[in-house]
Amino acid sequence: MALPGGKRCGVYPDQLETVEWQAPGFEASPSRKIGWVESQIQEAEGWLSGQKSYKNLAANLRVFDGIFKDKTKSLLVTNGLRYAVKKFTTTLAEVREIAAYGSDVKAYKPMAEMLTKVSKCVYLESDFPLQILKVLQYACVMGVGYLWPKVRPTEYGYGEREMVFDALGLLDVMPVQIPSRSNDIQDAYAVTIYDYMPIAESYGRFPLFQGKLQTVGMNNYKSLIQAKRQDFAASYRYGDIQDQGKSFGNLYTEIRYTFIRDLRINNTGYVLPMGDPGTSWFYKVPYVGQDIFGGIRNGQPYMRPAMAEDCRVYPNLRLIISSNGLDRPMYDGPAFDWDPKIPIIQYTIDDVPWEPGGRSLVGEVSSIETTIRKHERKVDTIITARANPPMGYDLDNTGGPKVEHFDIFEEDVRLGLAGGEPKKTFQSILPDEVVVGNENWTFLKYLREAMLADLGLNDVGNMANLKINMSSDDATKQIESIGPVGKGIAMRLEKSNKRVGERVKFLIPQWFDTCRLIEYVGEDSIAREIFDYNPDDMVPSHLPDEFVNGNYPETPSMYDKLTRAKWLVKKLRLISVPSMLLKITAAQEQLKYLQLKRTPDCPLSWETTLTKLDVANPKEEMDKYFKEQQQLTKMKLIAAAMAAKEMQELGLQPPGEEGGGGGKGGGKGGGLHAGGRPPTNSKQPRIAQKGGAGGDARTTVKTS
């Protein structure tokens, strides 16, 4: 579709140039589709080339890799920046879950609990923290990193499906039309993802194109960004062997996944079947004005005319898979996943509203790191020179080859010199001012502290020291030391982690059938709600309005599977995601609630307290606790009665009940601070350990 009004042509200002931004229909010729994909890649490359993170990418990589040259003779190259980035990213990547889920609908709470258990298994299988670490490393150096949660079959496409989280960098993702309001790649119109796939794997995943896929080869690119992408892959990912006349691309092919938010409406006058029949991404699109199922009223289905929103040809996303060198797409149709959002999740460590490509932390401190290396090399040069200084001698009285080539560090050497005073013959000509003084070390210390401050390690590093040990007397101080820089980073990461949890919520019901779920959680943990008229997966067989007087319908659902699946996912909500530092900073407020709850006659309900402590489904937990206490009380009564009966049968009398009071501490009733000084609560409460020397240790809330 041409942009309304076009744009002014740069070569001929009196002419207008049209821009075809909308994807051509599925009926278009293959060459037109490939041409449109190429045009979108060019638009994305134009956007990327204007980002500061891309402009400084080569320089940032050199600094991070310790590639440094100057005019000194020193070969010293330290890399404190690399260690700082490792500590920074490793601390932030210490996550313990993907997400936890809940539901406000009682019938689907067991589904939510099962989904949480499955996500924990996926967390272990997929090495989720390691993938988060890779994404954060991309973000620190390149300004932005991307995570692609997806389900793919193993064994080159012929094995069991598994959920994976692919880490991608700045050069791997090409977005088009990102709204400036959000700067979020998931809001883009189209996104192309590059994947260098081994040629053998591509033959397995795209069997219909065996023999047609071309390898990347040497110098196989059409733009500067494509050249940089290939050079980066050759130099960092697969090894640079071009000096041997070889290229990594000889055994790899370039696969491009273009996800499109296609807005086409079906106004053809007939129903359009979309996707591959028999798959989870197959559906039928009604045309505008067609009578379609509108729902259930008073137990009876009713029909209504289809509106524009009902007739979207691609209600989720459209996907075009292509490869450089092919004249037609390998796939063009609905995206395989039910998730309607762009599947790439964006991670940034530092950004500003006018730089959607993020800001590289390495770039922020590159000048400091370069100055450190320059100064260290000068110090190394001075120390080396003073250990073996340039020597001078009296040319009139002493000379010759022996003196010219004399090595003062050579062992077991004899040298006869005229004049009788050898030490005066050789004199260092190094000026006395050339010396390493305290100001040199002070300056280096200042530079290193400045670099840590710019990186935010002074904030984030406190997380590594805290170790979630709330019993430490210094824990409160460490919590308070997590400053605004650390909190800002945590806000960005929590937003991205939330997007991951939302996407996983779609992937599990779609791709894991009941047999796979049983493998993850066991038979006892399978929600019984699965076993309806469609027991093969988590998708409900019918929606609530199809139940008449609480009875299951005897006919198949009037709603299609995709509608029922989306309804289920909407009823499951996120209740917990890896929130990094934010949960730690909320610990003080949670301790206040614990302290208040321990106060006698405190008018604070357990439901409120458990909710504040982020306990999932507090009402259910209270019901479980009540039932457990009932069962324990009953068992104690039964055990006491059985013991009394056995003692009577043996002719023994059970011991009588002793009177209360007496003994140590038996005067007054117990309670918080009973018999002691009442608390002032002038300091923040914290958890502390008591006992343990001769008995069992217990946890208590300590205050002033």
309 touches 574 (CB < 8 A): no
Tokens of 402: 């022996």
Mean pLDDT comparison of 245-249, 441-445, 483-487, highest-scoring range: 441-445
Calculate the alpha carbon distances from 212 to 34, 36, 219, 284, 461 in Å: 16, 21, 19, 32, 52
Tell me which DSSP letter residue 15 carries.
S
- Burial of 327 per CB tally in 10 Å (0-12, 13-18, 19+): exposed
Mean pLDDT, rounded, for 226-238: 79
Question: How many Cα atoms are found within 13 Å in the side-chain-facing hemisphere of 468?
Answer: 8
Which residues partner with 574 through β-bridges? 101
Buried b (16+ CB within 10 A) or exposed e, 129-164: bebbbbbbbbbbbbbbbbbbbbbeeeeeeeeeeebb
Question: How many Cα atoms are found within 13 Å in the side-chain-facing hemisphere of 31?
Answer: 0
Mean pLDDT, rounded, for 24-32: 93
What confidence category does residue 287 fall into, taking pLDDT thresholds of 50, 70 and 90? very high
pLDDT at 173 > cutoff 90:
yes
Distance between alpha carbon 392 and the CA centroid of its chain, in Å?
A: 63
Place of tokens 């309304």: 4
Please tell me the distance from the alpha carbon of residue 355 to that of residue 349, in angstroms, as a whole number.
13
**Residue 684 dihedral angles phi and psi, to the nearest 5°:** -65, 135
pLDDT at 684 > cutoff 70:
no
337 touches 35 (CB < 8 A): no
Question: How many Cα atoms are found within 13 Å in the side-chain-facing hemisphere of 648?
Answer: 6
394 touches 429 (CB < 8 A): no
341 touches 145 (CB < 8 A): no
Angle between helices 457-466 and 484-511 (to 10 degrees): 60
Residues of the chain with pLDDT > 70: what percent?
A: 77
Q: Which of 130-134, 217-221, 254-258, 633-637 has the lowest mean pLDDT?
A: 217-221
Domain ranges of the chain: 26-66+143-357, 67-142+358-386+433-585
237 touches 172 (CB < 8 A): no
Question: How many Cα atoms are found within 13 Å in the side-chain-facing hemisphere of 14?
Answer: 0
Mean pLDDT, rounded, for 437-455: 87
> Which pLDDT value is given to residue 462?
53
**SS3 state of residue 693:** coil
